[in-house]
Amino acid sequence: MIRLSGTNHLLGHRLWIKDFPKPTAQIQIPYLIIGGGISGLSAARQFHKKGISDFLLLEMADHLGGNSSNGQNKYSKYPLGAHYLPLPNFEDKELLHFLEEEKIILGYNEKGLPVFDELQLTFAPDERLFYKNNWQDGVVPKEGNSVEDDKEFIRFFKEMDAFRTAKGVDLKYLFDLPIRLSSADKSTRDLDKITMKKWFENNNFRSKPLFNYIDYCCKDDFGLGIEFVSAWAGIHYFAGRKQDSVTDKNESVLTWPEGNARLASHLKKYTEKKTLKNHLVYEVKVENNKVVAKAFDDVKKVSIEIIAEKVIMATPQFVNQYLIKNRKEFTKAFHYTPWLLATLTVNDLPDNFSFPLSWDNVIYDAKGLGYVYAQHQTLNQVQEKKVITYYYSFSSGDLKKTRKEIYKKDKEYWKQVVFDDLKIAHPDIEEYTEEMEVFILGHGMISPVPDFIFGKAKENAAKNIENRIFFAHTDLSGISIFEEAFHQGINAVNQILNDAALDS
Ligand SMILES: Cc1cc2nc3c(=O)[nH]c(=O)nc-3n(C[C@H](O)[C@H](O)[C@H](O)COP(=O)(O)OP(=O)(O)OC[C@H]3O[C@@H](n4cnc5c(N)ncnc54)[C@H](O)[C@@H]3O)c2cc1C
């Protein structure tokens, strides 16, 4: 059986025509958050931390979490978007506090480093790669490389290690997390003007396995491959995370069967009784020194009006351009890569004993990014059926065109795409598959193409409007990862409260 679903693009597309009924009810509230993804939920947590409880969160979907949501079948939960959080940087105290609050960090050792709950770190075996007709340990191609390939891998990782620790004259890391803490060093920022592929060539790298590995990494975090992604973003993938919150250079990550929906569910508690789901916001403006927001209740099929002192737009800019006047011009610079996720329930997955089924299973030279094994983190290792989620990002130079083409295809087409790709490593996968759920995210994630991260469009989009409307979404960071979303929410609340302190 195959099911095809995705983010609610049909409801979203009503923003183009705005055929909503006139509001019939009004709510007055000091603070309004629009969007219940990680950015919006993090804003709710920050309001709570600052002792503010009079806020409301509106979300168009019937659940919170946005790109950090999950599905569930009778065998397992599984991610419908984000699926892991790398170990946080030691200097990111806000994130460490959050992980402590949620008992993901259990304490600190004698060196002052966090002790992570082992049940929430990837269990071994965590990663494997299907390369040259065999599975091997880790996702870096190793067995079967030429001597030249190996030398280039060593040189590449050495350069990335140097970028990881390097600081600019302003004493800030060249590459940091959140991105806004990175150095303003001009020569490094100039890397944002070229693609990662150009950087690779400029630095005399030629190895195909290395090229493919970097391409895989770029797609993993940005959706876009090495040809399209800015070199600054590409290097940030390797250098932004300092690997300094553990003693050994541990590459394990935090993950759960439902992926980062676990983190969203921790944050949800701050929005209890303060949330209206199934509410699509279709207009936001400043009027008489207040913000007036209009929302369509997709269950009752009525509209409401919310009058607020301050609003946080935790919604992406491709949506905001339809809600707020005069934003279309700079929104053109925001490009979003679509994604396809396919969750397969399989009766069996005949395996290789030396490198068994792992949490992350990558197939070299495949179209997609491989698959994660959802039940890997459950303690019960005897599984009646296995549930795996396959990831595919539609990396291209014309994402708008790609998106249009995606929506013309039916579930049979996608079923074949998924099977053809997985058959490289599992020739009999079709025979073993009992069920497949294909989930499409039309605007999956922001793409850091050259000149975007430090460009004017992003800067303009992040400016508040009349100190009333504030912005928080990962697309304003330029890369879409949990850490950025988490800080976007915190910063928006801090901006609002700092302004209030200055006003009084
Ligand atoms: C396929 C995929 C895999 C990913 N994997 C990872 C990963 O492994 N690790 C990681 O750290 N990150 C990953 N990410 C990035 C992920 O997007 C971020 O980590 C984070 O979840 C983004 O949160 P956000 O709040 O900024 O945005 P969103 O998740 O986009 O949240 C925006 C919210 O606003 C709502 N909304 C939009 N318009 C309206 C409207 N008009 N009215 C009301 N509500 C509205 C949406 O429904 C949504 O809930 C992945 C993303 C994708 C697409």
Residue with CA closest to ligand 1 atom 38: 315
What pairs with residue 167 in β-bridges?
A: 173
Q: List beta partners, residue 475.
A: none
Q: What is the pLDDT of residues 422-452, one digit of tens each?
A: 999 999 999 999 999 999 999 999 999 999 9
Position 352 confidence tier, pLDDT thresholds 50, 70, 90: low
Element (H, E) at 6: strand 2-6
Q: How confident is the model at residue 223 (pLDDT cuts 50, 70, 90)?
A: very high
How many whole angstroms from 67 Cα to the centroid of ligand 1?
3
Ligand 1 centroid distance, CA of 485 (Å)? 8
Residue with tokens 């079948």: 73
Q: How confident is the model at residue 250 (pLDDT cuts 50, 70, 90)?
A: low
For position 160, what pLDDT does the model report?
Answer: 97
- Angle of the 38-49 helix axis to the 261-268 helix axis, nearest 10: 30
Kindly report, residue by residue over 362-416, the tens digit of the pLDDT: 999 999 999 999 888 887 666 789 999 999 999 999 999 999 999 999 999 999 9
Per-residue pLDDT, 353: 62
Nearest CA owner, ligand 1 atom 52 = 81
Is the confidence at residue 10, as pLDDT, over 60? yes
Helix (H) or strand (E) holding 402: helix 399-406
Strand partners, 327: none
Among the listed residues 359, 139, 391, 382, the one whose alpha carbon sits nearest the alpha carbon of residue 257:
359
Least confident residue range of 20-34, 230-244, 380-394: 380-394
Atom of ligand 1 nearest to the CA of 58: 43
Cα 430 to ligand 1 centroid, rounded to whole Å: 31
Distance 348 CA to ligand 1 centre (A): 32
Q: Is 374 in contact with 79 (CB distance < 8 Å)?
A: yes
**230-236 average pLDDT score:** 98
Which pLDDT tens digit goes with each residue over 70-82?
999 999 999 999 9
Is the alpha carbon torsion for 95, 265, 216, 350 positive or negative?
positive
C-alpha torsion sign, points 461, 464, 465, 468: positive
Closest CA to 199 of 235, 161, 249: 235
**pLDDT (0 to 100) of residue 245:** 84
CB 490 within 8 A of CB 92: no
Distance, CA 59 to ligand 1 centroid (Å)?
12
Cβ-based burial of 30 (10 A; exposed 0-12, middle 13-18, buried ≥19): middle
Residue with the bigger pLDDT between 94 and 350: it is 94
Question: What's the mean per-residue pLDDT of the chain?
Answer: 94
Closest ligand 1 atom, residue 391 Cα: 1
What is the CA(221)–ligand 1 centre distance, in A?
13
**Taking CB atoms and a 6 Å cutoff, what residues make up the pocket around ligand 1?**
34-40, 58-61, 66-68, 81-85, 260, 280-281, 314-316, 319, 339, 441, 444-445, 473-474, 480-482, 485
Domains of the chain plus CATH, in order, are: 8-69+259-332+450-503 (3.50.50.60)
Q: How confident is the model at residue 204 (pLDDT cuts 50, 70, 90)?
A: very high
Q: Is the pLDDT of residue 288 over 60?
A: yes
Query: Tell me, what amino acid is at 53?
Result: S
Residues 492, 108: Cα–Cα separation, whole Å: 30
pLDDT of 349 > 90? The answer is: no
CA-to-CA separations, 395 to 189, 225, 406, in angstroms, rounded: 23, 6, 12
Angle at 201 between CA 197 and CA 206, to 5 degrees: 105
Whole-model pTM? 0.97
445 Cα nearest atom in ligand 1: 53
Strand order in the sheet with 2-6: 2-6, 433-446, 336-346, 386-393, 371-373, 360-363, 127-131, 134-137
Least confident of 8-12, 110-114, 142-146, 401-405: 8-12
Ligand 1 atom at shortest distance from the alpha carbon of 480: 15
Task: Give yes or no for a contact between 475 and 334, defined as CB atoms under 8 angstroms apart.
Answer: yes
Q: What gap in Å lies between CA 256 and CA 121, rounded to an integer?
A: 8
Q: Is the pLDDT of residue 29 over 70?
A: yes
Query: How much is the pLDDT for 435?
Result: 94
Average pLDDT value for residue range 109-125: 93
Residues 6+ apart with CB under 8 A from 76: 257, 374, 375, 378, 387
- State what percent of residues in the chain have pLDDT above 70: 96
**Number of residues in the chain:** 504
Distances (CA, A) of 270 to 230, 234, 486, 490: 36, 34, 14, 13
pLDDT attached to residue 51:
97
Residue 428 contacts residue 350 (beta carbons within 8 Å): yes
* Per-residue confidence (pLDDT) for residue 381, from 0 to 100: 62
Please enumerate in sequence order all residues whose Cβ is within 8 A of that of 389, keeping only pairs 6 or more positions apart, or say none: 78, 79, 83, 341, 342, 343, 344, 371, 372, 374
Q: Which of 250, 266, 249, 248 is nearest to 258 (CA)?
A: 266
